Structure 1
């Protein structure tokens, strides 16, 4: 069934104009992305949703169709409070313009009819952000057939499949339209994962002062959150200061609660004057930028290829050593008493040990005594061999099953929820070498095989039941990450954990910003000396998806309290804010900052930022990090920038509708 969702006020649904954006999805990310494109980038958006869903919460039925606009009003209001102005024509009193911009349709499946109604054949970009990979792939193939020029942004959890799909869809566009440059950002296919985008930020919340690492497209950026310095203390400012936090020496928690918090929030991309004046405030500093090394496998807490010392117990190893010493002593005694060759004496001793030799009847007394002692050693060896086999079998069986938390475990992170997000966060924490204990109530959850492969302890049970968090050693943990898809479950787990350990550092996944504000303020009042963080996966991922729809390469995003800072690679050409200006002049406080320059000639550049091999010794290649402030940016340059959502929207906002031949 395909139909338009009525809005407040009632407006007739007009056909989509050329060059608009289409977003198809079934969860919070689709709503966030539509709001991001409309209220940050000023684009005309058509949102395609499954029928009968509440736009605020995917799992609730839509009882009042007009409530669809409530989501956009609340989100846009939160953006305005966080410093992101709505574009012209979307303020109060101009509801008609806002309604025309966000056109909401319903369709059970992204079929040809649904795409035709949404105007995909005339769209500039299409985002497919369903929670099902298979549905996104089918829809992408259909959309590429209907419009070979459309810019596709696809949400896939399977990263390897995503790489192949990008190549396939770009090849399909090139075949349909010979001469089409599929490497251009306006016609390319981009596959993103909300789990991969949000996982580094969620993992970083579990660590005080931890590094926030972005590794994408051959580039690695590391930003470090630093606590406010004490009086007289001098701290390293790194390459540049990315943000001033709301936390101070007198208020270590700061205004972390939410975007709509009334307290003074963080200041992104401050200028030198603001940094010098902000004494006693925490900072986020860009510590390093370099080419990313190939990622190795995540370290295991205990893997299948474990050493023998972890398969056989210490008691069993000492027993085996004792038997070996007895055999050696008997072989030496046989050599000394009989004058036999040492090698032959050892062989005869082993035959006696395993009761395979002839009785020493008629031999000397010494030979007979040695044979008796060898037989006794053989009797001791038999149970030792049986115990070794049973213990090895039990160890290998345990290695392939879920582990229980060790008794002496301390300083670990308790991870609640092993869905798509929790699984990515688990892998990220293990890559950082952080001990983890997982809690999951579904034995068939997506992350259970990953936890088994990494040999991470898992507690199976409902976290709301008494004793489950105690089994995860919550009283000795350093942090709790509550990452289930249910806000109430995450909150209940945090409240119970705080009752067990009041100073526990917690980070909980919450979608609703007003709810996050209330939770933060309550927890901060009850536990003023404990650190509390709330994160929304859709809030972290939506800017990256929106930037990809605008046709630019978004490298990643880092959270700064409940705001987001983006890193992007853009071409200078066509941007008067950059072209012809020096690096110092191009810097706009609170909007964007040039971090690096791609020195590779345009004809040798890759689509990503991996270093191309220089064609000649006198032609540079790669990224230049230490740019001189007086360097003048040219049209052919490609730069890496750090930007706020507001700043990136200003840089990438299109001057008009895109036309097609």
Structure 2
């Protein structure tokens, strides 16, 4: 396996292939990249120092977390490291692309990955290619182009070129669903197969007697004690999380939550249990007019009604006529009450005075409404009275995908972004999501995003210290606020989770490393497996993959019940069958959807 990249995903992917799947890996990085990684750790140390000061003040203990080791460093067993400024043909040849089974191009630049993929396909048409591309539409065209090139290289000899494939993935697309789901309690984590089967994993808490109720299709994982699903670390609970337990273990377990699999439907889109509180698109009355203006208009309407009733009582005319005359007086239409009774004249003067007061109120309403509609195509501000929303920090590559996912779940969002040219602002404008432009570390920015009334805070900027500082500040404002923060290094993410959980035991804290969430999907694609999705279970990952039964002695000729191996894999469904019975015998032509641990999926090779 050859991995080419310039950031943490390359190191995590190489470690995944070598440590979990036992592959021989050649890692190609820019010059001095292995020595350039320590500043990232240094950034984590700076954030650790900030964290230590908070912990010392809250729980009376410090101690900086140990700096994470650079993944893939040291040139350990089964790994070779090359340094190259550019991925030229000579560099790819030196890396062994001509003899490799698979090549992963995970540079942060789409153009670099595409150029190297075209060269690699020419060097080795049988090569299995995995590309990291942010532009999904371009990625579809690149897949078709490179697969067509592999087919033409062998002409009609399809057997030799059968191994060749091209898979385009995005770490943002892989990690965004997990980040969005973690920010919202009860949100379904959905996996969709090619046949339209929709499966979702949901959390089940134990009942009053400690037993689990409602096991769904099957139990995917038992959680560590007192640690909800998707938490940032497994240590510190009463038990370690148990992936893919057998039914006897589930029945005997007490006092632990579980991740349970449910079937949503065989067609249609995924369902969501997200606590959305409003539909984006049509602005509400509250977003058009301020509260003070609405109260002023209501007061004016009350005055008009009172004057009309008074005129009706004083003069005895018909109520509709009284209301009509009051409006004439209100709008200064010339109908003086000369020769009329004194009461009528006094009411006319009062109506005229109310009309003078009404004029600036109407003008303010018009100007405010016009201003709202004029900025509808621009960035919206958080509406007054907003509550129960998710505050999203950062509209970069990851933040944009998370924003799209949250809006698909109908979750109200307020974004905070410091860069007025950020790529996600166009998406926020299209989705009509309120945005606060400003540095989140500055005082007053989170307040503008209504953090004191927010449901959760999701910090996904590219700077670890910014995410951590924002979370700590938000916790000062709302100690019970649910927070999810993206951190570059997985070890540091675990340390942050444990410390924040100790400092705020009553609040829900989640820490996520994007490379930790994305690497299993990239590794699975390099090994020729169709990884449908990945669900984080605390600090572990459970993979969903489509596997052909043919050639697998652990599957072929066995029933669905016999094919289950606790702690490794479980057959969830057979594609093409609406209902999969545990007694169904898996045959050579079947294609099954399995939930597996990373090691379990490696064993299925």
User: Is 1:111 matched with 2:88?
Assistant: yes
TM-score if structure 1 supplies the norm length?
Answer: 0.72
Give the structure 2 partner of residue 359 of structure 1. Answer: none
How far apart, CA to CA, are the structure 2 residues paired with 1:632 and 1:39?
Answer: 33
Tell me what 2:379 maps to. 402
- The SS at the match of 1:492 is helix
Say if 1:254 and 1:623 are closer, same or farther in 2 by CA, change over 3 A: closer
* Structure 1 position 266 matched with structure 2 position 241: yes
- The answer for the alignment partner of 1:287 in structure 2 is 262
* Distance change (3 Å), C-alpha of 1:631 and 1:411: same
Q: Indicate conservation of the 8 Å contact 1:185/1:552, yes or no.
A: no
Query: 1:453 & 1:293 partners in 2: Cα distance?
Result: 24
Equivalences for residues 70-219 of structure 1 within 5 A:
70-72=69-71, 99-179=76-156, 181=158, 186-215=163-192, 217=194, 218-219=196-197
Give the stretch that moved more between structures: 152-161 or 583-592.
Answer: 152-161
CA offsets 1:132-168 (integer angstroms, 9 cap, x no match)? 1121111111111111110011111122221121111
Report the secondary structure of 2:375's partner residue.
helix
Please give the secondary structure, in 2, of the residue aligned with 1:568.
strand
Q: Does the Cα contact within 8 Å between 2:221 and 2:259 map onto a contact in 1?
A: yes
Q: Structure 1, residues 153-204: CA drift from partner, whole Å, max 9, x if none?
A: 1111122221121111111111111135499873211111111111111011
Q: CA deviation at 1:630?
A: 2.0
Does structure 1 conserve the Cα–Cα contact (< 8 Å) formed by 2:130 and 2:169? yes
Distance 2:31 2:40 in 1: 11
- 1:488 to partner: Cα distance: 1.7
2:449 maps to 472
Check whether the contact 1:28–1:58 (CA below 8 A) recurs between aligned residues: no
Separation of aligned partners in 1, 2:384 and 2:156: 65
Q: Whole-Å Cα distance in 1 between the matches of residues 3 and 147 of structure 2? A: 20
Report the equivalent of 2:201: 223
Q: Which residue is equivalent to 1:89?
A: none
Query: Cα–Cα, structure 1 residues 234 and 650, in superposed 2: closer, same or farther, change >3 Å?
Result: closer
**Structure 2 CA distance for partners of 1:183 and 1:302, relative to 1, 3 Å:** farther
Choose the corresponding residue for 1:236, options 206, 214, 236.
214
Structure 1's 252 and 151: CA in aligned 2 closer, same or farther, altered over 3 A? closer
* Separation in structure 1 between the aligned mates of residue 88 and residue 402 of structure 2, nearest angstrom: 34
Contact 1:300 1:455 in 2 (8 A): no
Secondary structure of the 2:23 match is coil
Counting matched residue pairs gives 522
* Aligned equivalent of 1:525: 502
Q: CA deviation at 1:233?
A: 7.2
Note the C-alpha offset of 1:124: 0.6
The question of whether the paired residues in 1 share the 8 Å contact of 2:230 and 2:537 is answered with no
Query: Once the 2 structures are TM-superposed, how far is the Cα of residue 254 of structure 1 from its aligned partner?
Result: 8.6
Partner residue in 2 for 1:65: none
Cross-structure match for 2:341 = none
Do the aligned partners of residues 389 and 295 (structure 1) sit closer, same or farther apart at CA in structure 2, a change above 3 Å counting?
farther
CA-to-aligned-CA distance 1:508-544 (integer Å, 9 cap, x gap): 1123333223322221221111111111111011001
Q: Given that residues 4 and 27 in structure 2 are in contact (C-alpha distance below 8 angstroms), is that contact kept between their aligned partners in structure 1? A: yes
Aligned to 1:650: 603
Identify if the C-alpha distance between structure 1 residues 140 and 148 changes in structure 2 by more than 3 Å, giving closer, same or farther.
Answer: same
Deviations 1:212-263 (A, max 9, x none): 123464443211012232227773111111111113xxx3559944367686
Aligned to 1:638: 591
The offset of 1:492, in angstroms, is 1.2
1:280 and 1:526 mapped to 2: Cα distance?
Answer: 24
Go from structure 1 to structure 2 and tell me whether the alpha carbon gap of 1:410 and 1:182 turns closer, same or farther (over 3 Å shift).
farther
> Is residue 246–residue 255 contact of structure 1 (8 Å, CA) maintained in 2?
no
Equivalent runs, 1:372-521 vs 2, <5 Å: 393-521=370-498
Tell me the distance in 2 between the aligned counterparts of 1:390 and 1:637: 65
Structure 1 unaligned spans of 5+: 1-20, 63-68, 75-94, 322-379, 599-621, 653-661
How far 1:463 moved relative to its partner?
1.4
TM-align CA RMSD: 3.6
Asked if the contact 1:53–1:59 (Cα under 8 Å) also holds between the matched residues in 2, the reply is: no
Q: Deviations over 1:308-365 (max 9, x none)?
A: 99879998999xx9xxxxxxxxxxxxxxxxxxxxxxxxxxxxxxxxxxxxxxxxxxxx
- The more displaced of 231-240 and 418-427 is 231-240
Is the alpha carbon distance of 1:234 and 1:102 closer, same or farther for their aligned partners in structure 2, counting shifts above 3 Å? closer
Which stretch has the larger CA shift, 505-514 or 461-470? 505-514
Q: 1 CA distance for matches of 2:380 and 2:435?
A: 6
- Contact kept in structure 1, 2:104 and 2:129, CA below 8 Å: yes
Does the CA contact (< 8 Å) of 2:230 and 2:539 recur in 1?
Answer: no
Aligned mate of 1:47, from 27, 48, 53: 27
| Secondary structure at 2:184 match in 1 | coil
Taking the aligned partners of 2:184 and 2:288, their CA distance within structure 1 comes to 33
How far, CA to CA, are the matches of 2:531 and 2:168 in structure 1?
Answer: 11
- Looking at structure 1, the residues matched to 365 and 393 of structure 2 have their Cα atoms a distance apart, in angstroms, of 37
- For the residue of structure 1 that corresponds to 2:604, the secondary structure is helix
CA contact (8 A) 1:255 1:264 kept: no
Question: Any gaps of 5 or more consecutive residues in structure 2?
Answer: 43-67, 302-355
CA offsets, 1:409-448, max 9 Å, x none? 1111111111111111111111111111111111111111
What's the TM-score, normalizing by structure 2? 0.78
